[in-house]
Structure 1
Amino acid sequence: MEYKLLDLTFTSDQLRAFSNALERAEIEVSEGDPLDGENVNAYLDNQQDVETAKKMWHQIQGVMYVR
């Protein structure tokens, strides 16, 4: 299934990824876990989520500013 947000179309998987990315970024910021050997992979995953969320948010904002 696809969802239309302004002039952008996202699949349900993309919206779920965006939502998860924002949630995980919030958790990372609020908990502020130290970066040690055990959570390096989680940290890197979170950074990828943050970048994904930022890219999608910039797409959304770009459409909002055009209008």
Structure 2
Amino acid sequence: MRNYRHSFAVGALIRWYLDGADVQSNLPKLALYMGHVSIVSTACYLHFLPKQREIASDRFEGAFGGLVSEVVA
């Protein structure tokens, strides 16, 4: 059963990233939906996977990429 809960939680994160949603503000909703008292209980299901890392990195670059310039030594 843990694998289903993990897949659900990670799938929710990926959907939120792709939809441009505020992931941080949605975490308490995820915890509530999963029947947890707090996000701390939900955190054990939220492993950062390569797909999430790629989506989050692309989203960060889109929002803040112009603020950071590449430094060539």
Which of the pair has the greater relative contact order for Cα pairs under 8 Å at 6+ separation? Answer: 1
Question: TM-score, with normalisation over the residues of structure 1?
Answer: 0.39
More strand by share: 1
